[in-house]
């Protein structure tokens, strides 16, 4: 190959690469906000909205094994965006990889779509629940009385046929005793700020509604059954359902990271979808829902109090401090008393 061809080839490679502003060598140690979503189309919606934020700059993409992280710079803060995948296991695995890589993250957002449990919520409406429960942990009873030989397996919630949901075993304490909880709560330090922003500047602005507060539920199944939707709405008093948020919240509690979950409605979680009795409408509304969730997230970024401290470059041993952080009462998951036992029906 001649020198002319070599120069032309190198010039072609240079011109075909995206141009990014320079970034610090240890951007991971300086990142203060992490935003994750379960699917790529949700990430694309977030990136699209971030691009129109005044002063927001795309810095670079970095590959960590099978995880691609997009870095942005906004209001003097580094923001990381990543896809964690669908369902509990993938969400937990990727967050447990990301948190040690980004040890100084101060706020974590989970942004994307969800199914409505409340028929009053329409496609495109946005929910920011304060509490999350897991609806697929429980027991299958083969007894009409609902009783079992072991007291610890007595029903805790209203049953759905032979399935009796229970509180979630979220870990063990220092005495190796099992910790169980019904609900994980978004830390007030972040949730109260988000709630104030929503009530002050978001609701009057958009055609879709933004509902801040209440309860969401997660499970390892896709809910597309009207009777089970009604059961979840009644049993938990929940408004929205998805397949990842409880696992996301639990990982954030484990690493003591303030978190907020933003879900936009893509469908009514049952066969009777807003007058359509034939099929689920998730494919008709998921793009609109992802866009609305991203809009709310970026509007929160505009006025949310962000970090003002300069992070020092952290050595690798700091990862140990990230894995075993000092105790913070805001993330203390305690045994929560069981709900009243329901009659069998």
What is the CATH number for 124?
Answer: 3.40.50.1580
Is residue 2 included in any domain, yes or no? Answer: no
Is residue 343 included in any domain, yes or no? Answer: no
Is residue 1 included in any domain, yes or no? Answer: no
State the pLDDT at residue 306: 79
Task: Give the phi and the psi of residue 312 in degrees, each rounded to 5.
Answer: -75, 160
* Cα first-last separation, the chain: 80
Under the banding of pLDDT at 50, 70 and 90, the label for residue 255 is very high
Number of domains in the chain: 1
Lowest-confidence range among 32-46, 77-91, 314-328? Answer: 314-328
**More confident call, 32 vs 276:** 32
Residues 71/80, Cβ–Cβ less than 8 Å: yes
Report the C-alpha gap between 178 and 66 in whole angstroms.
33
276 alpha carbon, distance to own chain's centre: 29
Residues 290/42, Cβ–Cβ less than 8 Å: yes
Is residue 146 included in any domain, yes or no? Answer: yes
Which span out of 33-37, 61-65, 122-126, 317-321 was modeled with the highest average pLDDT? 33-37
Under the banding of pLDDT at 50, 70 and 90, the label for residue 334 is low
Query: What pLDDT digit, counting tens, does each position of 41-75 carry?
Result: 999 999 999 999 999 999 888 989 899 999 999 99
Q: In this structure, what token pair is assigned to residue 335?
A: 């045994």
Where in the sequence is the domain holding 95, given as residue range(s)?
Answer: 24-307+316-331
Under the banding of pLDDT at 50, 70 and 90, the label for residue 284 is confident
State the pLDDT at residue 17: 37
Lowest-confidence range among 20-24, 177-181, 204-208, 292-296? Answer: 20-24
Residue 271 has pLDDT above 70, yes or no: no
Under the banding of pLDDT at 50, 70 and 90, the label for residue 15 is very low
Residues 280/267, Cβ–Cβ less than 8 Å: yes
Residue 311 has pLDDT above 80, yes or no: no
Is residue 10 included in any domain, yes or no? Answer: no
State the pLDDT at residue 315: 42
Is residue 15 included in any domain, yes or no? Answer: no
Is residue 107 included in any domain, yes or no? Answer: yes
Is residue 340 included in any domain, yes or no? Answer: no
Under the banding of pLDDT at 50, 70 and 90, the label for residue 152 is low
> CA torsion, points 318, 322, 326, 330, in degrees to nearest 10?
150
Residue 99 has pLDDT above 60, yes or no: yes
Neighbours of 339 (CB within 10 A): 16
């Amino acid at each position: 190959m001649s020198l002319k061809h070599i120069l032309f080839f190198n010039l072609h490679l240079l011109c075909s690469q995206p141009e990014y502003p320079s970034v610090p060598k240890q951007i991971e140690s300086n990142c203060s906000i992490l935003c994750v979503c379960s699917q790529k189309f949700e990430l694309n919606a977030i990136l699209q909205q971030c691009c129109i934020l005044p002063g927001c700059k795309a810095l670079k993409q970095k590959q960590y094994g099978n995880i691609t992280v997009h870095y942005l710079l906004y209001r003097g803060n580094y923001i990381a965006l990543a896809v964690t995948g669908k369902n509990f296991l993938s969400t937990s695995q990727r967050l447990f990889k990301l948190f040690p890589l980004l040890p100084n993250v101060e706020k974590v957002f989970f942004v994307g779509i969800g199914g409505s449990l409340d028929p009053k919520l329409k496609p495109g409406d946005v929910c920011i629940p304060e509490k999350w429960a897991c609806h697929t942990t429980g027991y299958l009873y083969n007894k009409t009385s609902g009783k079992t030989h072991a007291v610890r397996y007595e029903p805790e919630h209203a049953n759905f046929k032979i399935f009796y949901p229970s509180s979630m075993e979220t870990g063990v304490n220092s005495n190796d005793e099992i910790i169980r909880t019904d609900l994980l709560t978004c830390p007030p330090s972040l949730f109260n700020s988000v709630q104030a922003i929503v009530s002050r500047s978001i609701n009057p602005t958009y055609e879709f509604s933004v509902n801040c507060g209440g309860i969401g539920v997660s499970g390892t199944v896709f809910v597309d059954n009207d009777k089970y939707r009604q059961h979840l709405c009644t049993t938990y008093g929940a408004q929205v359902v998805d397949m990842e948020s409880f696992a996301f919240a639990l990982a954030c509690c484990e690493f003591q990271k303030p978190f907020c979950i933003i879900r936009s409605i893509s469908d009514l979680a049952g066969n009777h979808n807003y007058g359509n009795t034939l099929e689920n409408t998730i494919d008709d509304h998921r793009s609109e829902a992802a866009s609305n969730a991203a809009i709310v997230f970026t509007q929160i970024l505009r006025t949310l109090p962000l970090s003002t401290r300069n992070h020092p470059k952290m050595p690798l041993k700091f990862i140990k401090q990230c894995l075993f952080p000092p105790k913070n009462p805001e993330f203390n998951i305690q045994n929560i008393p069981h709900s009243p036992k329901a009659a069998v029906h």
